[in-house]
Chains A and B, each alone.
Chain A
Amino acid sequence: MIKIQFFSLVRLLIKQEATEVPWVEGETVQSVLDKTQAQIATPFLHKLLNEEGVAHTGTIILVNRKNILHLNGLKTPIADDDVLAFFPPGAGG
Chain B
Amino acid sequence: MNKAWKGKLLRVDLTEGTCKVEALNEEWANDFIGGRGLGSKYFTEEVSPEVEPMSPENNLIMATGPLTGTYGAANGRYMVITKSPLTGTIACSNSGGYFPSELKYAGFDMIIFEGKSEHPVYLQIRDGKAELVGAVHLWGMSTNDTEDAILSEFHGDAKVASIGLAGEVGVHFAGIINDKHRAAGRSGVGMVMGSKNLKAVAVRGTGGVKIANPKAYREAALDTYATLKENPVTGEGLPALGTAVLVNVMNQNGGLPTRNAQSGTFEAAEDISGEALVSGELRRIKSCMGCIISCGRVTKITDPRYVGEGEGPEYETLWALGAACGISDMPAIIKANYYCNEYGMDPITLGSTIGCAMEMFEKGIISEEEIGMSLNFGDGDAMVKLTEMTGKGEGFGKKIGLGSYRLADSYGVPELSMSVKKLEFPAYDPRHVQGMGLGYATSNRGACHVRGYINSAETLGLPEKLDPEATEGKAGVLKVFQDYTAAIDSAGVCLFTTFAMGIPQLANFCNAANGTDLNDAGILEIGDRIYNLERMFNLKAGIDPSQDKLPKRMLEEPLPDGPSKGNVSKLPEMLPDYYEVRGWGSDGIPTEEKLQSLGLA
B240 touches A93 (CB 8 A): no
Q: Can you list, as one digit per residue, whether each of B225-254 has a CB less than 8 Å from chain A (1) or not (0)?
A: 000000011001110111111101100111
- A1-12 interface bits toward B, Cβ cutoff 8 Å, 1 = contact, 0 = none: 000010111011
Chain A residues closer than 8 Å to B461, beta-carbon distance: 57-60, 67, 69, 89
Given contacts A11-B275, A92-B295, contact A65 B240 (CB under 8 A): no
Interface-central residue, A7, A56, A92, by most chain B CB under 10 Å: A92
Q: How far is the CB of B232 from chain A (nearest CB, A)?
A: 4
Question: Of all chain B residues, which has the CB nearest A63?
Answer: B563
Which residues from A are CB-within-8-Å of B558?
none
Q: Does A35 contact B (CB under 8 A)?
A: no
A9 CA / B314 CA spacing, docked (Å): 17
| A57 neighbours in B (Cβ, 8 Å) | 461-464
**Are B496 and A90 in contact, CB atoms less than 8 angstroms apart?**
no
Find chain B residues with CB under 8 A from A62 CB. Answer: 252-253
Determine whether the beta carbon of A91 is less than 8 Å from that of B240.
Answer: no
Query: When each residue 47-75 of chain A gets 1 if its CB lies under 8 Å from chain B and 0 otherwise, what string results?
Result: 10000000011111010111101100000
- How many interface residues does A have (CB within 8 Å)? 27
Q: Find out whether the CB atom of B315 lies under 8 angstroms from the CB atom of A92.
A: yes
Q: Choose one: B241, B453, B465; the contact of A90 (CB below 8 Å).
A: B241
Chain A residues numbered 1-37 whose CB sits less than 8 Å from any CB in chain B: 5, 7-9, 11-12
Q: A7-B248, A9-B237 are in contact. Are A93 and B495 (CB under 8 A)?
A: yes
- Within the complex, the shortest CB–CB distance from B231 to chain A, in Å, comes to 8
Which residues of chain B are within 8 angstroms of A69 by Cβ–Cβ distance?
461, 465
Known pairs A57-B464, A65-B253, A93-B496; A88 contacts B453 (CB<8 A): no
Known: A8-B241, A91-B462, A92-B244. A58 touches B278 (CB 8 A): no
User: Are the C-beta atoms of A91 and B233 separated by less than 8 Å?
Assistant: yes
Given known A-B contacts A7-B275, A58-B460, A65-B562, A12 and B240 have beta carbons under 8 A apart: yes
Residues on A with beta carbons closer than 8 Å to the beta carbon of B314: 92
> In the complex, A64 Cα to B233 Cα: how many Å?
24
Residue pair B450, A88 in contact (C-beta under 8 Å): no
Query: Which B residues between 302 and 329 are near A, CB-CB below 8 angstroms?
Result: 314-316
Cβ-Cβ contact count across A and B, 8 Å cutoff: 106
Contact A92 B246 (CB under 8 A): yes
The answer to whether B563 and A66 touch across the interface, beta carbons within 8 angstroms, is: yes
B499 within 8 A of A: yes
Asked if A44 CB lies within 8 Å of chain B CBs, one says no
Residue B281, interface by CB 8 Å: no
CA distance A56 to B233 in the complex (A): 11
Asked whether B274 is an interface residue with its Cβ less than 8 Å from the other chain, the reply is yes
List of A residues within 8 angstroms of B460 by Cβ: 58, 60, 89-91
A91 touches B499 (CB 8 A): yes
Residues of A within 8 A of B563 (CB): 64-66
CA distance A88 to B295 in the complex (A): 17
A-contacting residues, B272-300, CB 8 Å? 274-275, 278, 295
Q: A58-B462, A60-B461 are in contact. Are A90 and B253 (CB under 8 A)?
A: no
Closest partner residue, chain B, to A64 (CB atom)? B563
B398-418 CB contacts (< 8 Å) to partner A: none
Question: CB-nearest residue of chain B relative to A5?
Answer: B252
CB distance from A5 to the nearest CB of B (A): 8
**Is B379 in the interface zone, CB < 8 Å from A?**
no
The residue on A at minimum CB distance from B465 is A69
Tell me if A85 counts as interface (CB < 8 A to partner B).
yes
Asked if residues B252 and A90 are in contact (CB atoms below 8 Å), the reply is: no
Known interface pairs A8-B274, A65-B254. Does A92 touch B462 (Cβ–Cβ under 8 Å)?
no
Contact A91 B237 (CB under 8 A): yes
Q: Do B233 and A8 touch across chains, with their CB atoms under 8 A apart?
A: no
Q: Is the CB of A89 within 8 A of B232?
A: yes
Decide: B449 and A7 in contact? CB cutoff 8 A.
Answer: no
Nearest CB in chain A: distance from B92 CB, A: 16
> Closest chain A residue to B562 by CB distance?
A65
A8 to B460, CA, bound (A): 13
Determine which residue in A57, A69, A91 has the highest number of CB atoms from chain B within 10 A of its CB, and name it.
A91
A66 to B562 Cα, complex, angstroms = 9
Residues from chain B with a CB closer than 8 A to the CB of A60 are 249, 253, 459-461
12 A-B contacts (beta carbon < 8 Å): A7-B248, A12-B240, A12-B241, A87-B252, A89-B232, A90-B245, A91-B233, A91-B456, A92-B238, A92-B243, A93-B315, A93-B496
New contact pairs (7) apart from A5-B252, A60-B459, CB-CB < 8 Å = A8-B274, A11-B275, A59-B461, A62-B253, A70-B467, A87-B252, A92-B314
**A residues at B contact (CB < 8 Å):** 5, 7-9, 11-12, 47, 56-60, 62, 64-67, 69-70, 85, 87-93
